[in-house]
Amino acid sequence: MTRSLTRPHLKVAALQQASSADKATSLATTERLVRQAVSEGAELVVLQELHTTLYFCQTEDVSVFELAEPIPGPTTERLAALARELDVVIVGSVFERRTNGVYHNTAVVLERDGSLAGLYRKMHIPDDPGFYEKFYFTPGDAQFNDGRSGFTPIQTSVGRLGVLVCWDQWYPEAARLMALAGAELLIYPTAIGWDVTDDPDERARQLEAWVTVQRGHAVANNLPVIAPNRIGQEPDPSGQGDGILFWGNSFIAGPQGEFLARADSDSETILHATIDRQRSEAIRRIWPHFRDRRIDAYGDILKRVCD
């Protein structure tokens, strides 16, 4: 099968699933859903953050580092074989062991022939109750050895993918830099949920904020956004807390922030959408955000605080 970057439409899918403590079980679910998504026409399939395991960052436990893998490694090899068999581009997620003492939360992009098209190491690392990611993850490289920025789109047979990860989704700078570097899609593999003790009003506020900020990135950059999230309640391994209820609500939005597809809060789901490649260009001609940027006046953005 031959695909061209000049084709006007791209069929994408985002997978929403519950994960297991057993990698084999999680990957079996992922593989089943990928196969179904491709049978239904998907050319690009995006998986959620850390989809092979439970979300282990609720506590700080050095034994968890045993879950980390090199790249290439078992998870990337399995996803690569699946991509090659199904002739599809897959965006997956790996707890990466880069070297002794350096671990990353890494998104990997597997090309249709099974090759590794590129990777993105999560740049913004949270450290909040129930989300102790700084204990486990080193921030991604702000600058690669070959001069590329950490916010560099990954070139694939289906286009230039602006892959970011979860906490990155709250930062307009990350989305803008990906867009300025030529990304055609913004992709946010995610693992986010509520504290089980949150009341309904607080849950609604948090969910609405998560959806709104990412739709804002779509609007501000005139790019589609794909945001898959996990589902299910996962207990706190230490027993000190009540655990996290992952809120699902995965979605795909168009370049004006419009919903193209959206999941509910608790169902295993394959979201499908068809992306019109020409809409971003058409919208930028009437909403020329990039043209009107005042780059001469943004120097203070590099300061921690503008006193």
**Annotated active-site residue in 43, 96, 111, 122:** 122
Distance between CA atoms of residues 176 and 246, nearest Å:
27
User: Residue 110, Cα to own-chain centre: how many angstroms?
Assistant: 14
Rounded-to-integer distance, Cα 81 and Cα 75, Å: 10
Specify the long-range contacts of residues 262-265, CB closer than 8 Å, at least 24 apart: 263/16, 265/231
**8 A C-beta contact, residue 213 and residue 189:** no
**What are the structure tokens assigned to 104, written together?**
């990353």
Per the annotation, the verdict on 166 as an active-site residue is yes
User: Among the options 43, 49, 111, 234, which is catalytic?
Assistant: 49
Tell me, yes or no, if 23 is annotated catalytic: no
Query: Does the annotation mark 122 as catalytic?
Result: yes
Query: Which of the residues 111, 166, 184, 234 is marked catalytic?
Result: 166
Reduce the secondary structure of 272-302 to three states and give it as a string: EEEEECCHHHHHHHHCCCCCCCCHHHCHHHH
Catalytic residues: 49, 122, 166
